[in-house]
Chains A and B, each alone.
Chain A
Amino acid sequence: EAPLGLYFSRDAYWEKLYVDQPAGMPLLYVHALRDVPDEVPSFRLGQHLYSAYRKRLHENNWIRIQEDTGLLYLNWSLDHSSWEKLSIRNGGFPLLTVYLQVFLLPTALREGECQWPGCARVYFSFINTSFPACGSLKPRELCFPKTGLSFRIRENRPPGTFHQFRQLPMQFLCPNISITYRLLGGENLPFRCAPDSLEVSTRWALDRERREKYELVAACTVHMGAREEEVMVPFPVTVYDEDDSAPTFLGGVDSTGATSAVVEFKRKKGTVVATLHVFDADVVPASGELLRRYTSTLLPGDAWALQTFRVEHSPNETLVKVNGSFIRATVHEYRLVLNRSLPISESHALQLAVLVNDSDFQGLGEGTLLLHFNVSVLPVSLRLPSAYSFTVSRRAHHFAQVGKVSVENCQQFTGIHVQYDLQLSSANCSALGVVTSAEDTTGILFVNDTEALRRPECTQLQYAVVATDQSTHRQAQAPLLVTMEGTYMAEEPGCPLSCAVSKRRPECEECGGLGSPTGRCEWRQGDGKGISRNFSTCSPSIKTCPDSHCDAVESSNPNICPQDCLRGSIIGGHEPGERWGIKAGFGTCNCFPEEKKCFCEPEDSQDPLCDELCRMVI
């Protein structure tokens, strides 16, 4: 906001009003502090009284203000009928609180736009009786307003008076009660309470970067005849910030003021390449304005760099210890981010500069900072191991997993798309296939043709594994030798297609199913502890199913591993998987992939009750 020149030390004031209080009674003082020396505040009241819900009730005929001192006083007594009138205008809601707006001149007076620092609200709580007898008032009521005091003071501004302790109506109506005030909490603090006027003022300009909060205590002593009573209330002062600190470096920087980064295996758009932190002792501009006023510009180098990188900025509030107390400050994180996915052939070395500008900075010198990033983009070459060798049982079923192939460092790849293929180099015994697993850029070999497995002439298969990068079409090759072992045995009749159908161990282990590498399903015995990830189930191979992950082979047919891949309903105590399948189950889980259903239930030897009821007994 534009500097207004003057500001209120509070945004809200509180006072009580009773019925039939005399005209001329002083109510309270409002205080304004200066932004520059020699300013003289001039106060003006808004035209209307408002209800607590911002409803305009009536023109203000009762309360006046002294323009120069900020003293509000009753110009006209408020009787019952005036209050009745105000209550009726409030639309039937009980009227307990009204407020007035106080403006600071010379600001634009616009009713309805009452915002600190140029405007404050003065709330009056209405008590529907006349003022009580002075003797019946408690010290707390005599000393302080009902609502707590709290003050706002801007840093680096001329000192001034911001509060007056005296409760004016009390003094006016109960002049015989003697009340004295003290300010406790540190003698060397920049606050002072004048003994005669009971005004509280700052002694010198404050600095938020040194201290942000002053938790003072106001003490009040009431002398009633021979009795003395002391009341204490908190008296917090908050120091408001202005942009008087320039941004500075904070860690992650070498002696040349630069940070280095390498782009190699992580080449995906959105990858954070490097991070630099910038420290600013200020907490302004506030979050709503911050990104607009705290700019970062990637300085034009070559077009390639501007296309490839962008800068992301996220500010975070932090706490800094100063003289044993914590002060808020801001740490700006600047991340250099890939703006596009880089092909594996790209290779570059460059230095990027980012200009950070704290455009609100009002101190001496520059509010700018130059960040340097030394970035090396290295090319990636696809390399496969020298040779692969696997064995397959002749009893393996379709989709049985044989092994994995992968290029070097593929676990770290992001944004690199490699596809694996098999090229048959021997006789037409093509028994295997390969699928590429997108998550970890590996290839999974699986049995694709069981008939070819069993042919007597197919005992050893020679393949070439080819890994191809999708964007550059660069390739790597490795030989693959697959050896058949064991003898084929025919399947038991009446076995289901899927291992997951079986509900008990014996029927599980005497059958095979889609995806089983040995020709037999495997039983996994769970721990039987409630709904557990380790549930009992029948699967083609415990190594791959269930593992809460529907891999590239399993996803190609719903009968292989519905425990990981089911997209349907699970009946019984369970926790569904993150995307599909069963994450945890109660007891034994079996599935009917054709019906898209799984059932989880502990083994139960009792017959269901309905069967008994409905059984025809002869």
Chain B
Amino acid sequence: RRRARARSGTRPCGLRELEVRVSELGLGYASEETVLFRYCAGACEAAARFYDQGLRRLRQRRRVRREKVRAQPCCRPTAYEDEVSFLDTHSRYHTVHELSARECACV
């Protein structure tokens, strides 16, 4: 059994930024350009509800077994950047929709 992970100092769920080359995203695009990649990260303990506790206990009692359930809120984007465009090494433009997060929340 693992101790509760809530250490003081873990940042709460929020937007983080990373400057990445398009080729690093591993989407198959060969491009030298850099894009600003915003993603959601951080802890969500404070967002737990009765639902999460109840579901966790039911799962321990093997009442919920069949399906994949998530008994903990997860830090996910609730809104995305519309589009980012870049030029690839063959001088063709590509536009990628919803590549990067705009708002985050524990859901």
Contact = CB atoms under 8 A, between A and B. Distances in A.
Interface in A528-575: 530-531, 569, 572-575
A140 to B, nearest CB: 43
Interface residues of A, number: 17
A572 B74 CA distance: 23
B67 to A, nearest CB: 14
Nearest to B70: A614
A531 B25 CA distance: 14
A586 interface: yes
Given A616-B56, A617-B2, A618-B60, A531 B29 contact: yes
A586 B72 contact: no
Contacts of B72: 614, 616
Interface in B60-87: 60, 70-72, 74
Nearest to B96: A573
A41 interface: no
A533 to B, nearest CB: 13
A602 B1 CA distance: 36
How extensive is the interface on chain B, given as a class?
A: 10 to 19
Contacts of B74: 610, 613-614
Nearest to B74: A614
Contact of A573 (B1, B29, B60, B97): B29
A117 interface: no
Given A610-B74, A616-B72, A531 B97 contact: no
A587 interface: yes
B51 to A, nearest CB: 14
Secondary structure dominating the interface of B: loop
B28 interface: yes
B27 interface: yes
A618 B28 contact: no
A531 to B, nearest CB: 4
Given A616-B56, A617-B2, A618-B60, A573 B27 contact: yes
A600 B29 CA distance: 12
Contacts of B36: none
A616 B70 CA distance: 8
B21 to A, nearest CB: 14
17 contacts: A530-B28, A569-B97, A572-B27, A572-B28, A573-B28, A573-B29, A574-B28, A586-B28, A587-B28, A613-B74, A614-B72, A614-B74, A616-B71, A616-B72, A617-B2, A618-B1, A618-B60
Q: A-B pairs with the 5 shortest C-beta distances?
A: A573-B28, A586-B28, A573-B27, A531-B28, A614-B74
Given A530-B28, A600-B28, A610-B74, 14 more contacts: A531-B28, A531-B29, A572-B27, A573-B27, A574-B28, A586-B27, A586-B28, A602-B28, A613-B74, A614-B70, A614-B72, A614-B74, A616-B59, A618-B1
